[in-house]
Amino acid sequence: MHKPLKILWYILLVNLLLLGISTIFPKEGIAISDNLSIKFPSVRDYFAAKVEDSTALRIEKMANNYQTAILSEDSLQWNSALPEDSASMAEARIVHPNDLENALIGFYKKIEQIKEGQLVRVLHFGDSQIEGDRISGVLRSMLQEKFGGCGVGYLSITDPGYDRKNIRRSTSGVWNKYSVVRASIAPPHNKYGVLGNYCRWTTTGDDKGAAISLSRNEKTYQRTQQFEQISLLYGNAPADFFYTLTSDTTLLQHGILPADSGAVNFKWIYKGFGKHGLRFDFSGDKSPDIYGISLDCKSGIAVDNISMRGSSGTEFGKMNRLSLQQQIKKLNVGLIIYEFGVNVVPTVLNDYGWYQNMVVQQINLLKKLAPGAAILIVGVSDMCRKEETDFASYPNIEKIRDAQKEAARLTGCAFWDLYQVMGGANTMAEWVNAKPPLAEKDYTHFSWRGANIVGSKLANAILNDYNEFNALETY
């Protein structure tokens, strides 16, 4: 019988021999004939194969843990939290600046207001990674299931090309959209809405009004189809203007909305869609700035998906602070989620101290605008680019992630490491190649399936942190 120590030494010697051959063997191989050559794996390939296999198996296991309905491209309906194993829960923990204070305490304290009939809002800011209610949709559904609430939150009047799947939206008349990011039309001023834009109808010639229609979408989260109140957020109105609200062919309300130089949040109490949905008609000689329309419950959690395509998260300083502060104050914001980074990655640098400083500036500004709200910074996701024949992570991903994490610490905010949750280096390629695919072929954006997983993991991280906070408070 062979002794275990001898077997171990034998295995080590064989591996050292193979590594030695890998070191001296020509990369292009040794030609035996015109049609035959001998090749040997490089040292990098020798180790990478084992790491990549392990990563692929882990991601495959993660995908398989999720219900088929959740991963379906067409069906996003569900009513319960997705499963998490203990290992993934540990990786997905929210990190706080120190061990003595929970940085999300402001949000958790506001949740207590729900018992008193209050509606607490979550503003989910992000780039194209969250566009179309991806990630936000699952997060909203899970938080509403836990704390109550319904509806889709705030919708911009127009969102061409990047519309969300949860509510069907169409417009008539001529609307002009002025955005703080990638503006196609030069804005007359910087009093942007909380969604990062504002819309006006044309008031020249015979065009004195416009309309927006909203209707249900059966292939989406069930709670988004339910609502108890409608809110119109507008501002900078130089004159009174008229509105008509209809459901199907039935006139619900009509009247005049007052001029106001500040921000106004006008509410109608109305429950659910009709067969064909809701239609808002607005008219007047001078259009106000329409910031958005929300569909919510009277109490519970509301989550607004605020996608700023092309943004690095550094545009908040371009927005009028007084106007933005007025809007946020009217919305009872409990949590701001700041999720940016993919637009910083293509600029590969050795140092991202400048970016860290910019994030710190933006977060400090948001804290001033919403002093009662907690802020959670979501780190950059993995991104891959083609190197020779394979796709590998950009070399600066971890530097950007570390800059975001340090910015969170310096500003006293919570941090969630999406890069680590995905699996770390080169995992975007694995998400792309997973079956079913969890990311798009651009090796940057999650697919709907992948976004559902990320949204569920983010929601679970918040809920687990909330439960731990409550346990400590009780103790």
Signed CA dihedral, 99, 103, 106, 110: sign only: negative
Query: pLDDT tens digits for 157-166?
Result: 987 545 556 7
* Spatial CA neighbour of 384 closest among 431, 453, 451, 436: 431
Whether residue 362 has pLDDT greater than 60: yes
pTM reported for the whole predicted model:
0.84
Query: pLDDT tens digits for 45-56?
Result: 545 444 444 555
Could you tell me the residue ranges of all domains in the chain?
49-73+84-149+299-475, 154-298
CB environment 13-50: b (16+ within 10 A), e (fewer): eeeeeeeeebeebeeeeeeeeeeeeeebeeeeeeebee
**What's the rounded Cα separation, in Å, for the pair 248 and 276?**
5
Query: pLDDT tens digits for 249-288?
Result: 789 999 999 999 999 999 999 988 877 799 999 999 999 9
Kindly report the backbone phi and psi dihedral angles of residue 278, in degrees, each rounded to the nearest multiple of 5, phi listed first. -115, 150
**30/133: higher pLDDT:** 133
**What's the rounded Cα separation, in Å, for the pair 64 and 270?**
41
Residue 61: the pLDDT is 58
Residue 77: the pLDDT is 43
Mean pLDDT in residue range 390-398: 95
Q: Which of 32-36, 84-88, 253-257, 364-368 has the lowest mean pLDDT?
A: 84-88
**What's the rounded Cα separation, in Å, for the pair 191 and 180?**
10
The torsion of the CA quartet 314, 315, 316, 322, rounded to 10 degrees, works out to 150
Whether residue 28 has pLDDT greater than 80: no
User: Using alpha carbons only, how large is the chain's radius of gyration in Å?
Assistant: 26
**E runs forming strands in 100-174:** 119-126, 153-155, 167-173
Whether 76 and 448 have beta carbons less than 8 Å apart is answered as yes
Residue 375, C-beta contacts closer than 8 angstroms, at least 6 positions apart: 103, 335, 336, 337, 338, 363, 366, 367, 411, 413, 414
At residue 239, what is the residue type? A
Q: For the chain, what percent of residues have pLDDT higher than 90? A: 66
- Is the domain spanning 154-298 CATH 2.60.120? The answer is yes
**114/78: higher pLDDT:** 114
82 to 161, 265, 305: CA distances (angstroms):
30, 35, 21
**What's the rounded Cα separation, in Å, for the pair 204 and 470?**
57
Q: Read out DSSP for 25-93?
A: S-TT-EEEETTEEE----HHHHHHHHHHHHHHHHHHHHHHTS-HHHH-SS-----SPPP--HHHHHHTP
In CATH, what class is 49-73+84-149+299-475? Answer: alpha beta
Q: Determine how β-strand 175-179 pairs with β-strand 333-339.
A: unpaired
Residue 183, C-beta contacts closer than 8 angstroms, at least 6 positions apart: none
